[in-house]
A and B are shown apart, each in its own frame.
Chain A
Amino acid sequence: MIEWIHPGFIYIFGAFLVPFLKGRERLKQVYVLLLPTLAFVTLILMSKGVLLSEGKTWIVTFMGYELILGRIDLLSMVFAYVFVIASFCMFLYSIHIKEDWQHVAALVYIGSTLGVVFAGDLLTLFFFWEMMACASLFIVWYGKTKSASSAGFRYIMVHSFGGVCLLAGVLIHLQNGGSLAFDSFTWGIGSEYLGIYLILLAFLINVAVPPLGAWLADAYPEASVTGAVFLTAFTTKSAVYVLIRGFPGVEMLIWLGAIMALYGVVFAVLENDIRRLLAYHIISQVGYMVCGVGMGVFGTAAGEMAINGSTAHAFSHILYKAVLFMGMGAVIEVTGRRKLTELGGIYKYMPITFWLYMIGAFSISGFPLFNGFISKTMVVYASGMWGYSTIWLMLELASVGTFLHTGLKLPWGVWFARDTPVCEAREPPLNMLAAMGLTGFLCVLLGVYPKILYNILPYPVHYEPYGAGHVIAMCQLLVFTFVAFWMLRDKLHGTPTITLDTDWFYRLPGKWVIRFCKGPLMAFASFMDRNVMKLAGFFVWFSKNPFAALKIKGEETRLKMEKPIAASEEAVKHERDLEEIRKRQPEREPMVRLNIGTAMLLVLLLIAVYLIAMLIHGWLVT
């Protein structure tokens, strides 16, 4: 009897069958949709206790470590549910693309995210964490433009840095006597917590906290229309998950989260690229979740409310953000334009896309009856329960900004704003519309029946979203945001500019560093290299026969001193003699010089052979 099938493995191993289905488009489409369905069935079976059920773990022993590949509890289950459901919708959206390897990258990406979610120890976490970064890099690169390529390089450099921080943090944590288990860390001030700080830093990079979060808005909009939809969900929300797991109730996160929520809003005002604007709103919305994690002190009613809020908001966010990116992706798909300044007035060509987009927009803005309302307000409510007045005001202000951009400025600029359409357009392919419809339906379903979501949250929910006070306050907030928008709408046209973010620090100074390396540093290096090699060459020549060498040198000196005095014939003869001696000790000799690459390869081969020998030795001994 199989104890458990890891849902992540369904994606990861399933991915490698996709290229074999080349040429059988229909079959491939069914297959790609089948994998999320299988994973969902697995999750259902788990919740029914057929496969590994809640509260259990699945352990694999590897090199003496007990790796917990499966840790099943309420928290990991919620995130697994939403990742699997969202992945189905996203594959439906991207089913028409012909590039098999883009599917493979997406499947591995989702699989490794599920690996992170179910990881019960830090090594497993690190393994899937890195896999996630690599797989998502290929999704960025599938944007297939020059800017996508360079954005991808920047993306992977930031994430490699994060990965190294995580690994270093884990190792230092273990060295300091910490356990390998991935539970909430003991938090404090002092050098003995260095490992934990590094782990937190790695998590914060993935969760895109400013100033570490510029990679998100840099890379996501460069991916392909379908690829960007995948990217929106997994990296940041799995990072929210690990924060909830590892750092609930760390007060610093409250402030970071609230600042993040506003930071995204401010940058969204200035943005001209339609998907980059949405990317800034990912940062803003994830801010609510980070804020909630910070307030999530164990064992307090407000803390439980905050953790529930963060989890619920991650759930809702993944769905409505997918709808938003799908909508803007559809616009890019049919028009080929991605800037607000180049769009406008195309409502009459694509009304269905517009209305489906608006479901996402209403959800992210937190309109009553949409899923953003039932989750975002929980975090805000928790801040009220704690009595954080500034945080409360900041989060409400971020709500205003969210509706202003995603709900008003963006659809206004893309579909209206001009009397005559800027270009021809049409509705996107049917599968894209169906995917938007399905995801939008889920947003509304959760908004109308919040109990579905509340029942699977990690703590019991004591919260009634549809209290008169909440609904009225939210309606007032949104209606008057609209009034202000309408009055100032002329100020909100896109401008053909880009906005500097903290990626400036590695984009420009990075360039300078490279320029410095290529110019002065290289010149210096080659100068040193030349001279050192000359010196080395001399020593090689010298040491072959020091006596002869000394003699040659001596003769040379004598010749030089003799030349002005002695008769020319004698000097010529002397020179000929010297030439004879020199020939006996040639400066160059017929030996094979390998280039450095080959030498490295040999060294690596040697190490590999050594490793294999050690392993075999180990097996034989045990």
Chain B
Amino acid sequence: MKITMRVLFLLLYICIFVSVLAGILAQLYLHMHLFFWWEEIPVFSAVYGFVGCVVIIVASKALGHRWLQKEEDYYEKR
């Protein structure tokens, strides 16, 4: 278990590194067809993925705790 976790983490770091590097290289050397200005930022997708994920979790959890989440027999009791 310990070793597989270590291998998986190594794999994750490689993925992070390669994807970011590829993004930067592609931006420099390839002429891609872009629609919006932010797509020119080399690591835009990475940042958007990270921030988006955090925002989704935090916002939905807040929405749930404040308002939408109820005990399981909510409908039966009423």
Contact = CB atoms under 8 A, between A and B. Distances in A.
Given A392-B35, A499-B68, A485 B22 contact: no
A497 B19 contact: no
A497 B75 contact: no
A49 to B, nearest CB: 38
A266 to B, nearest CB: 5
A393 B55 CA distance: 13
Nearest to B17: A479
Given A269-B56, A468-B30, A498-B69, A477 B22 contact: no
B32 A497 contact: no
Given A401-B56, A469-B26, A472-B19, A270 B50 contact: no
A400 B53 contact: yes
Interface string A463-496: 0000111001111111111111100100110011
B49 to A, nearest CB: 4
A396 interface: yes
Given A467-B32, A469-B32, A473-B23, A479 B46 contact: yes
Contacts, number: 143
Given A404-B56, A480-B49, A270 B33 contact: no
Contact of B54 (A396, A488, A497): A488
B30 A483 contact: no
Given A468-B32, A472-B26, A480-B47, A404 B75 contact: no
A476 B32 contact: no
B72 to A, nearest CB: 5
Interface in B17-75: 19-20, 22-23, 26, 30, 32-36, 39, 43-57, 59-61, 63-64, 67-72, 74-75
B70 A473 contact: no
B6 interface: no
B10 interface: no
B33 A469 contact: yes
Interface string A387-408: 1010011001100110010000
A500 to B, nearest CB: 5
A573 interface: no
A32 to B, nearest CB: 36
A507 B75 contact: yes
Contacts of A389: 36
A526 to B, nearest CB: 26
A591 interface: no
Contacts of A501: 68
- The 4 residue pairs across chains A and B that have the minimum distance between CB atoms: A384-B35, A484-B53, A269-B60, A480-B49
Interface of B: 12, 15-16, 19-20, 22-23, 26, 30, 32-36, 39, 43-57, 59-61, 63-64, 67-72, 74-75, 78
